[in-house]
Structures are given as C-alpha cells and as structure tokens.
C-alpha cells in the first residue's frame, strides 16, 4: 500500500482529513460566536486555530512514529474532541479552557506513547500481571483516605493538589492490555474449557467488579463486564462463555436490584421516569412527583433532546437555563453532553455524530482484523469494543434505552481523565495498525 503516483499515502490522507476537521472546528466556533455575540469574543476562534495546531503536531508525531497507521482514526478523534469542546465552550467558557488543557495533556501523552512504543509495543505483553494489578490498584485509589473524593454518590475521584482525576478511565485500558496478553497466552487451553486456567482471569476480573459495584460505579461495571466477555469470546470463539456470562450478569443484576437501593432506584427511574401522583423522594425525604425528584435529570435531558427535533435549535441557540438563570440539566457538559448536542444539532446533527463514532469503531475493528498476532488483535478489538460499549452505555442511558449510569462520552464529554485515557486508546490502535500495515 505504498504511495503510488496518483494515490495518497496514509499520512498525507491523515493531513488532508485533519484539514477538513480544522475547517469544521472553525465553523463550529464561528457559529457559536454568531449565535451568542453578546457573550463570546472573536478570541474564541483562537480555540479553533489552537486545536488545529495541536493536531498538526500530533500528525507530525504519527509521521515519525507510526507512518503506516490508519489515516482515519486521528482525524476522527480530532473531530470528536472539537465537537465536544465547541459545545462545552457554548455551555460555559471556563470549562472549555480546562478541557482544552486536558486535550493538550492527552495529545502529549499520545505522542509520548507512540514514540516510546514505536519499535515494538508487544513488549507490554511481558508485563501483563503488572497491568492487571495496576488496573485494580487504580480502582482502589479513590478509596485511600485523604486521596479520594465522593462526587454524586460515587467515590471515583482522586484529588492530588489542584488536579482531580478518575483513575477508573485508565484502569479500563490497563485491564484491556492485561486481558489481551493473558488471553493470547491461554486461549487454546481456555477454549478447551479448563477451569483452572480461568483462575487468574476470574480473580482480577472479580476484584474489579467488586470494587466497581461497591463504589456504586454501575456504568463502569457494565462496561468492564462487556469488555471482558467480548475479549473472552474473541480469544476462544466459545459462544457459551458469553451465554454463561450473560446469565450470570442477569442473576447478579437481579440480586443487586433486590439488595442495593442504588441499583433499584436506577431501574425504577428507567422504567417509570414520570409519575402522575407524588411518590417518596429519597433526596428530600418527602413526597414529590418522580420527574421533580429522582428522574429530574433524565426527564430534563429528554426534553432537551426532544426540543432539538429534526434540524436542531442551531449551535449556540439551544435553551439550557431557566429565565432565572438556573441550569436546566445538571451535569450537562459531562454525562449529558449528548442531550445538549441533540437539542442544538437536531436529529441530523447527532445522527451524523453517531455515524462518526461508528466510523471510528469500524476502523478500529479493521485494525484488529489486519493485525497479525493474537495479542495485537485482542488489544485492538478490546480497545475498540470498549470505546463502542462506553458510547452505547452513556448515550443509551440518556436515551432511556437502558438504565442511566453516569460515564463519559468518549472524546466529547467534559472530563480530563476521560479525554487523556481516550488518547491512550487511540495511541494503542495506531500502534497496532502501523505494525499490521508495515508488515504487508
């Protein structure tokens, strides 16, 4: 697939697509500027220029480190972060600036990873148990006294001086690396169904689930479970593993529903967000309509989505505050960024956005298909499926397809750890892709 006289090489394609993304970002910021003249300054276009520069820098690193890697993945990630940061900027300038800084950190770590592992990332395989243990350790971090912070009923944050982050986001990637390495090694014996070999796997996985469920992080629990089953299936081709896993999940879910109030609440909110009569409201201890209490967020978010209609209100033209200045949807920039986008971009806009997510997944899976060795295949498939499943869990939750659990929308949501971790994920896919393409 070398560059012919009339065909573009992978990196030149990437540059071309990045140019298109740069133009789109500029248009996005410009339309926010026009819609909200009174609030936003011309300086906002500086954001667009700055991001364009940042991605050009990332592109130069890919030229050096992964010259043969897939040309779509980086521009898609760029587009998604641009959509996210534009919407966050529209919702509040200060957050957009912070998000911008985190994107810089993410791109920095992305570059460092590519450069460090450009010769052979497969060295990671040797440290699989280290990754497995690190994954659990990271999940435990927020529980260390003096370090952890409880936000919104879940203890998921670590505070180090001025920097706050969610170690769970990194734990996910470490766990995928561990699973890829372990499953590559044991896939034949596992396929024969020797339970003994499942031991270390179940140990690390079980510990992970325990931490997640006990810290009320149900969204991540579902995500890890899904990634685990998917990678087990890819490694062993045994569908019954998946079936047993699904049965266990349903059983576990039922027990959790029965025993854990938090889980029960989520399901109730999902099934019956509106009530006509007043019901018990745990937040106040009194009686209230459920849409005014527990399902407030979900219901307000659905109103926002519905208000978008076919064409949307237009970037910068949506309604997110009441006439006395209160925020209509709490956590609109992180968990509910999709409902903000749905209102402003409409069905046309968010469908296009979801197609971009699908394109990323399709390219990621193609990388897995093209890879030559088992570790690379499992790594690429795991990372890509994790990306897809995370998108499904949060957007599906917001759309009431499944019970809502708060996790971030990859690349788009406000949240430093999420952005940085997703750039690591991107780096992983590019490394696998480069190796697969270079060998051809």
Partner 1 sequence: MNSQITKLSLVALLLLASLIVATTYWQAWAAPGLAAKQDNQIQRVAQFRIKRGLILASNGLVLATNVRRKVGGETLYFRRYPTHGLASQTVGYSTQGRSRAGIERSQNSYLTASNANLGTIFDKLGDTLKGTTITGNNVVLNLRPNAQKIAETALAGKCGAAVVLNPKTGQIYVMASSPGYDPNKIESNTGYASILHSPKACPGSVSPLYNRATQGLYPPGSTFKTVTAAAALDSGQVTPLSPFYDPGYCIEYGQKVSNAGNPEAPEAFGHVDFLQAYEHSINAVFCNVGMKLGAKKIIDQAKKFGFYSTPPVELPSGELAASGEYDFTKHSLFDDPGRADPGRLAFGQDKLLATPLQMALVAAAVANKGTIMEPHLVKAVRSPSGGTVLKVKPRVWRTAMKPSTAADLNTMMQAVVTGGTGTSAQIPGVLVAGKTGTAETGVDRVYDAWFIFFAPADDPVVAGAVVVEQSPDGFGGAVAAPIAKQLMQAILPPTSK
Could you say whether residue 391 binds partner 1 (CB under 8 A)? yes
Q: Do 405 and 359 meet the contact criterion of CB atoms below 8 Å apart?
A: no
CB of 413 to partner 1, least distance (A): 15
Q: CB-wise, 7 or 321, nearer to partner 1? A: 321
Q: CB-wise, 127 or 303, nearer to partner 1? A: 303
Could you say whether residue 284 binds partner 1 (CB under 8 A)? no
Q: CB-wise, 85 or 305, nearer to partner 1? A: 305
> Would you state the structure tokens that stand for residue 268, as one six-digit string?
């109730």
Could you say whether residue 216 binds partner 1 (CB under 8 A)? no
Q: CB-wise, 360 or 414, nearer to partner 1? A: 360
CB of 344 to partner 1, least distance (A): 12
CB of 403 to partner 1, least distance (A): 14
> Would you state the structure tokens that stand for residue 54, as one six-digit string?
């940042």
CB of 435 to partner 1, least distance (A): 16
Residues 336-365 touching partner 1, rule: CB under 8 A, are: 342-343, 346-347, 350-351, 354-355, 357-358, 361-362, 365
Q: Give the per-residue contact string, 301-340, with partner 1 (x = CB under 8 A; - = no).
A: -xxxxxxxxx--------x-xxxxx--x------------
Q: CB-wise, 100 or 382, nearer to partner 1? A: 382
CB of 11 to partner 1, least distance (A): 25
Could you say whether residue 39 binds partner 1 (CB under 8 A)? yes
Could you say whether residue 237 binds partner 1 (CB under 8 A)? yes
> Would you state the structure tokens that stand for residue 407, as one six-digit string?
């996790």
Residues 368-387 touching partner 1, rule: CB under 8 A, are: 368-369, 374, 377-378, 381, 384-385
Could you say whether residue 88 binds partner 1 (CB under 8 A)? no
144: left (phi over 0), alpha (psi -120 to 50) or beta: beta
Q: CB-wise, 181 or 389, nearer to partner 1? A: 389
Question: Distance between CA 368 and CA 83 in Å, rounded?
Answer: 27
Give the residue, chosen from 9, 200, 253, 396, that forms a contact with partner 1 under the rule CB under 8 A: 396
Could you say whether residue 293 binds partner 1 (CB under 8 A)? no
Residues 262-281 touching partner 1, rule: CB under 8 A, are: 274
Could you say whether residue 65 binds partner 1 (CB under 8 A)? no
Give the residue, chosen from 164, 185, 265, 292, that forms a contact with partner 1 under the rule CB under 8 A: 292
Could you say whether residue 135 binds partner 1 (CB under 8 A)? no
CB of 440 to partner 1, least distance (A): 16
Could you say whether residue 388 binds partner 1 (CB under 8 A)? yes
Could you say whether residue 235 binds partner 1 (CB under 8 A)? yes
Question: Distance between CA 242 and CA 221 in Å, rounded?
Answer: 16
Per rule CB under 8 A, count of chain residues that contact partner 1: 62
Could you say whether residue 34 binds partner 1 (CB under 8 A)? yes
Q: CB-wise, 93 or 143, nearer to partner 1? A: 93
CB of 322 to partner 1, least distance (A): 6
Residue 307: name the closest of 319, 292, 323, 298 by CA. 319
Residue 177: name the closest of 117, 250, 137, 127 by CA. 127
Q: Give the per-residue contact string, 398-427, with partner 1 (x = CB under 8 A; - = no).
A: -xxx--------------------------
**HEC-encoded secondary structure of the chain:** CCCCCCCCCHHHHHHHHHHHHHHHHHHHHHHHHHHCCCCCCCCHHHHHHHHHHHHHHHHHHHHHHCCCCCCCHHHHHHHHHHHHHHHHHHHCHHHHHHHHHHHHHHHHHHHHHHHHCCCCHHHHHHHHHHHHHHHHHHHHHHHCCCCEEEECCEEEEEEECCEEECHHHHHHHHHHHHHHHHHHHHHHHHHCCCHHHHHHHHHHHHHHHHHHHHCCCHHHHHHHHHHHHHHHHHHHCCHHHHHHHHHHHHHHHHHHHHHCHHHHHHHHHHHCCCCCCCEECCCCCCEECHHHCCCHHHHHHHHHHHHHCCCCCCCCCCCCECCCCCECCCCCCCCCHHHHHHHHHHHHHHHHHHHHHHHHHHHHHHHHHHCCCHHHHHHHHHHHHHHHHHHHHHHHHHCCCCCCCCCCCCCCCCCHHHHHHHHHHHHHHHHHHHHHHHCC
Q: Do 115 and 122 meet the contact criterion of CB atoms below 8 Å apart?
A: no
CB of 258 to partner 1, least distance (A): 27
Distance of CA 345 to the CA centre of its chain: 21
Contacts with partner 1 by CB under 8 A lie at 34-39, 230, 233-235, 237, 274, 289, 291-292, 299, 302-310, 319, 321-325, 328, 342-343, 346-347, 350-351, 354-355, 357-358, 361-362, 365, 368-369, 374, 377-378, 381, 384-385, 388-389, 391-392, 395-396, 399-401
């Amino acid at each position: 697939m070398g560059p012919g006289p009339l065909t573009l090489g992978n990196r030149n394609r990437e540059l071309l697509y990045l140019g298109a993304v740069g133009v789109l970002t500029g248009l996005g910021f410009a339309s926010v500027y026009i819609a909200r003249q009174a609030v936003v300054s011309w300086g906002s276009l500086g954001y667009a220029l700055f991001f364009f520069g940042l991605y050009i820098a990332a592109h130069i690193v890919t030229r050096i480190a992964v010259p043969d890697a897939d040309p779509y993945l980086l521009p898609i990630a760029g587009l998604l972060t641009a959509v996210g940061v534009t919407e966050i900027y529209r919702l509040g300038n200060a957050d957009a600036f912070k998000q911008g800084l985190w994107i810089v950190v993410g791109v920095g770590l992305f570059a460092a990873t590519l450069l460090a592992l450009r010769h052979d990332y497969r060295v990671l395989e040797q440290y699989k148990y280290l990754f497995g243990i690190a994954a659990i350790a990271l999940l435990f971090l927020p529980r260390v006294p003096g370090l952890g912070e409880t936000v919104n009923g879940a203890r998921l944050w670590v505070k180090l001086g001025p920097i706050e982050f969610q170690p769970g986001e990194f734990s996910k990637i470490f766990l995928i690396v561990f699973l890829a390495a372990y499953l590559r090694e044991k896939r034949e014996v596992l396929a024969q169904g020797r339970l003994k070999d499942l031991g270390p796997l179940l140990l690390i996985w079980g510990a992970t689930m325990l931490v997640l469920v006990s810290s009320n992080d149900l969204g991540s629990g579902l995500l890890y479970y899904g990634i685990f089953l998917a990678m087990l299936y890819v490694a062993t081709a045994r569908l019954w593993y998946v079936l047993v896993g699904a049965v266990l999940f349903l059983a576990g879910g039922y027990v959790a529903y029965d025993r854990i109030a938090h889980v029960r609440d989520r399901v109730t909110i999902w099934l019956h967000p509106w009530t006509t009569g007043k019901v018990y409201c745990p937040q106040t201890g009194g009686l209230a309509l459920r849409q005014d209490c527990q399902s407030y967020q979900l219901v307000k978010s659905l109103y926002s989505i519905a208000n978008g209609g076919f064409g949307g209100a237009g970037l910068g033209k949506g309604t997110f505050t009441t006439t006395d200045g209160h925020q209509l949807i709490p956590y609109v920039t992180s968990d509910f960024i999709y409902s903000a986008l749905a209102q402003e971009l409409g069905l046309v806009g968010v469908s296009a956005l979801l197609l971009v997510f699908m394109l990323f997944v399709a390219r990621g899976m193609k990388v897995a298909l093209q890879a030559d060795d088992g570790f690379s295949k499992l790594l690429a498939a795991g990372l890509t499926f994790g990306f897809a499943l995370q998108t499904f869990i949060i957007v599906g939750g917001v759309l009431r397809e499944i019970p809502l659990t708060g996790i971030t929308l990859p690349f788009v949501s406000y949240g430093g750890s999420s952005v940085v971790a997703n750039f690591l994920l991107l780096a992983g896919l590019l490394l696998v892709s480069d190796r697969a393409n270079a060998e051809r």
